[in-house]
Amino acid sequence: MIMSDTLHPAPETTSDTVLSVRDLTVSFGSADYWKPVVRNISFDVGANETVAVVGESGSGKSVTALAIMRLLPKATSRINGQILLNGRDVLDLPPQAMQALRGDEAAMVFQEPMTSLNPVLTIGFQLAEALKWHRDLSNAEALAEARRLLNRVRIPAAERRLAEYPHNLSGGMRQRVMIAMALACRPKLLIADEPTTALDVTIQAQILDLIRELQADGGMSVLFITHDMGVVAEIADRTVVMFRGDQVETERTETIFRQPAHPYTRALPASVP
């Protein structure tokens, strides 16, 4: 294990640790010039725990999530440090093993579901394909499971929605479909990258409720990325604060609110009351 000599010595990894990030540094560039955009960050996500990563736009939150999923462009990015997902070293896995890990072990929901859903394919087809990709199901079984998932994410008239196209759904509904898609493979870790940011406050609150509910009955860890302290207060057990690529604070969420150590943390906005 790489020992951390940063300000944030991470706790020892235990069998309850689903995700362990150690001294993660991500740089972009090419042969002669690499610019670090995430510097030496370390944190853990325990079983059933929700950890928020909060910071203003450009602070390196999405890059961190994409590094964990190994979804950064190979030619122009460099990742140093260690990422353990259920004890497996993500940065050492061959691409095929990583492909299997994505979905089965960790799934991701993005800010704008329209960019992840295919506009010319029905919701039912896309869900069924996602299910078949990860599980050995017939078409009929996959469709039945897709319907069950839409019910699970509280989409009304699920039966009818299966035949609809993404543009027929509201933003909040599309985000629910994306969460259903992520749940399709029963991941141990859900990485949600600003999944409520494009939504109005009422819908945001509903999506946060949904994630909490799913977590309560499914047993799932969540890494929740946001720039909004209101969302952090609603959802996170522990919080990592990032500022321009650095990890400036990592605490239980109550502590972050009661006694923020970093002036930057105090200045972060909160939209959800």
Chain positions contacting Mg ion, by CB under 5 A: 61-62
Q: Is 30 in the site for ligand ADP (CB under 6 A)?
A: no
Residues whose CB falls within 8 Å of the CB of residue 160, separated by 6 or more in sequence, listed in order? none
For residue 60, the minimal CB distance to ligand ADP (Å) is 4
Q: Is 61 in the site for ligand ADP (CB under 6 A)?
A: yes
Residue at 145: amino acid letter: E
Q: Is 240 in the site for ligand ADP (CB under 6 A)?
A: no
Specify the residue, 62 or 86, whose C-beta has the smaller distance to Mg ion.
Answer: 62
Residue at 32: amino acid letter: D
Residues whose CB falls within 8 Å of the CB of residue 109, separated by 6 or more in sequence, listed in order? 175, 178, 179, 181, 182, 190, 191, 192, 193, 195
Count of Cβ atoms closer than 10 Å to residue 257 Cβ: 16
Q: Is 37 in the site for ligand ADP (CB under 6 A)?
A: yes
Is-contact 82 76, C-beta < 8 A? no
Is-contact 261 249, C-beta < 8 A? yes
Q: Give strand pairing partners of 43.
A: 21
Binding-site string for ligand ADP from residue 62 to residue 81, where x marks contact by CB under 6 A and - marks none:
xx---------x--x-----
DSSP state of 92: G
Q: Is 269 in the site for ligand ADP (CB under 6 A)?
A: no
Q: Is 27 in the site for ligand ADP (CB under 6 A)?
A: no
For residue 227, the minimal CB distance to Mg ion (Å) is 8
Q: For ligand ADP, which residue of 57, 96, 115, 259 counts as binding (CB under 6 A)?
A: 57
Angle CA(151)–CA(156)–CA(162) in degrees, nearest 5? 70
Q: For ligand ADP, which residue of 25, 28, 198, 233 counts as binding (CB under 6 A)?
A: 28
**Which residue has the CB atom at the shortest distance from ligand ADP?**
62
For residue 61, the minimal CB distance to Mg ion (Å) is 5
For residue 134, the minimal CB distance to Mg ion (Å) is 26
73 contact, one of Mg ion, ligand ADP, none, CB 5-8 Å limit per kind: ligand ADP
User: Pick from 30, 27, 11: which is nearest to 19 by CA?
Assistant: 11
Is-contact 134 184, C-beta < 8 A? yes
Residue at 236: amino acid letter: A
- Contacting residues toward ligand ADP, per CB under 6 A: 28, 37, 55, 57-63, 73, 76
